[in-house]
Amino acid sequence: MSQVYNWQLGRTMEYPHAEHHPDRQFAFVFNLNRCIGCQTCTMACKSTWTFSKGQEYMWWNNVETKPYGGYPQNWDTKLLGLLEDVNPGGQNWNGASFEGMTVFEAAQKKIGPEPQRALGYLPTDEEWRFPNIYEDTPAGPKGVSEAYDKEGAQLPAHKTWFFYLARICNHCTYPACLAACPRNAIYKRPEDGVVLVDQTRCRGYRKCVEACPYKKAMYRSSTRVTEKCIACYPRLEGKDPETQGLPMETRCMAACIGQIRLQGLVRIDKDGQWAQDRYNPLYYLVKVAKVALPLYPQFGTEPNGYYIPPRWVPRGFLKQMFGPGVDHAIDSYMVPDRELLAVQQLFRKSNRIIFSYRIEEGEKVFETQIHGKPFTLYNDTVIGLDEKGREIVRTQVEEPFYVRPDKHQNSI
């Protein structure tokens, strides 16, 4: 058992494994305001890694419709319920500090038939059956089924709402899958923090499947070992023929039609905290602008996936899912300052990993008010740089307007 600092909880916590930190950490930001649920990411992953026998049910990347969808079904509400049973009424935040119990702390309190290192459960076969159950099913007026609210869709929160939640393994800082494995078959790579299962050590006990709060470790019955998202590590290593040796984003990121995804590698200090890196776009979005938030931080694994929350969804729901930073994140996103607007343009402008950015100021385009707050749009240019500081992408806040030549009726 180690005492570790979890910055997402604002406190130290007990972690049932030795503490190790990588030099750099695989991390990503998904802007849920933009996801259109097209599942291109899902298919990009499936066709690359999980198209073989025994992998039929494996969707390392999935996109579920909240509030009702989930893969496996009800993965999050089930775990929230288990935590509530162990710590009734106590799963609360005090400002930015979490006062409740993580999956590791709750496991110490709940002594079941078999002790667990992280509170969890094994999903049933039925729960793995429908990767896209309740697709596009909204929450409507309370107590009335299959009806839209007559008040319609008005901010700050729609009365009838849903949103798409895209998920992959979070390559957690304190992985529950890794801590739970009795064979020490799971490890975190020192060079990029990617969490992998050593297929030769795994004996298929499925302790990782039980422990992962996000249910992203998956057992393969044809080989009797567990598999999981590998963060497309050959691409991170620059081994994809397309990369010319440069670290490249994963397949699911590169395929994203909605341009919701930005992935990178953040530098980690010796103490496990994110090293100051002001102009790394991920560092800026998560640590400076604080517009991107972790998924269920209260589970305690310090996930490295971050989400810009959808602005039309009731705040109570979002706060349970993304923690206490929701109001600030949505307020900043709705009325972005000059830098935030520029950095947002970097999403999906390159398949190579952007390690830093700089901004060249452009002319003022217009001024307006958004929800009573003044907003000015500048046509700044944002430049993304690779790890050696070389330019890999250049784009502007105002998208250039192209007019097709009036030559063919159908120019496609």
Which residues of this protein are in contact with ligand SF4, per CB under 6 A? 35-41, 63, 164, 166, 169-172, 175-177, 195, 212, 214, 216-217, 228, 255-258, 260-261, 301
User: Which tokens belong to 159?
Assistant: 């009365």
Q: What is the DSSP letter of 394?
A: E
Report the nearest approach of ligand SF4 to the CB of residue 61 (Å).
Answer: 7
CA separation for the pair 242, 233 (Å, rounded): 14
Q: Identify whether the C-beta of residue 40 lies closer than 8 Å to the C-beta of residue 208.
A: no
Q: Which residues lie closer than 8 Å to 124 by C-beta, 6 or more apart?
A: none
Q: Which is nearer to ligand SF4, 266 or 359 (CB)?
A: 266
Q: Identify whether the C-beta of residue 10 lies closer than 8 Å to the C-beta of residue 96.
A: yes
User: Which tokens belong to 368?
Assistant: 């307006």
Q: Identify whether the C-beta of residue 272 lies closer than 8 Å to the C-beta of residue 5.
A: yes
Q: Which is nearer to ligand SF4, 27 or 41 (CB)?
A: 41
Q: Which is nearer to ligand SF4, 257 or 334 (CB)?
A: 257
CA separation for the pair 352, 254 (Å, rounded): 9
Q: DSSP E strands: which ranges in 52-205?
A: 62-66, 93-94, 97-98, 163-167, 186-188, 195-197
Q: Which is nearer to ligand SF4, 168 or 341 (CB)?
A: 168
Q: Which is nearer to ligand SF4, 101 or 169 (CB)?
A: 169
Report the nearest approach of ligand SF4 to the CB of residue 112 (Å).
Answer: 20
Report the nearest approach of ligand SF4 to the CB of residue 301 (Å).
Answer: 5
Q: Which is nearer to ligand SF4, 171 or 352 (CB)?
A: 171
DSSP states along 175-237: -HHHHH-TT--EEE-TTT--EEE-TTT-----HHHHH-TT--EEEETTTTEEEE--TTHHHHT
Q: Which is nearer to ligand SF4, 66 or 216 (CB)?
A: 216
Q: Identify whether the C-beta of residue 287 lies closer than 8 Å to the C-beta of residue 264.
A: no
Q: Identify whether the C-beta of residue 222 lies closer than 8 Å to the C-beta of residue 245.
A: no
Q: How far is CA 174 from CA 3, 38, 75, 377, in A?
A: 11, 31, 19, 40
Q: Please give the residue whose beta carbon sits closest to ligand SF4 in the complex.
A: 258
Collapse the DSSP code of 26 into the 3-class scheme (helix H, G, I; strand E, B; otherwise coil) and give the result. Answer: strand
Report the nearest approach of ligand SF4 to the CB of residue 249 (Å).
Answer: 12
Structural Rg of the chain based on CA atoms: 22
Q: What is the residue whose two structure tokens read 């700044």?
A: 380
Report the nearest approach of ligand SF4 to the CB of residue 329 (Å).
Answer: 18
Q: Identify whether the C-beta of residue 213 lies closer than 8 Å to the C-beta of residue 299.
A: yes
Bridge partners (DSSP) listed for residue 248 = 352
Report the nearest approach of ligand SF4 to the CB of residue 75 (Å).
Answer: 11
Report the nearest approach of ligand SF4 to the CB of residue 33 (Å).
Answer: 11
Report the nearest approach of ligand SF4 to the CB of residue 62 (Å).
Answer: 9
Q: Which is nearer to ligand SF4, 159 or 323 (CB)?
A: 323
CA separation for the pair 358, 106 (Å, rounded): 44
Report the nearest approach of ligand SF4 to the CB of residue 35 (Å).
Answer: 4
> What angle, 0 to 180 degrees and rounded to 10, lies between the N-to-C axes of helices 315-322 and 326-334?
110
Q: Which is nearer to ligand SF4, 35 or 185 (CB)?
A: 35
User: Which tokens belong to 185?
Assistant: 């078959």
Q: Which is nearer to ligand SF4, 117 or 158 (CB)?
A: 117
Report the nearest approach of ligand SF4 to the CB of residue 125 (Å).
Answer: 19
Report the nearest approach of ligand SF4 to the CB of residue 174 (Å).
Answer: 8
Q: Which is nearer to ligand SF4, 252 or 359 (CB)?
A: 252
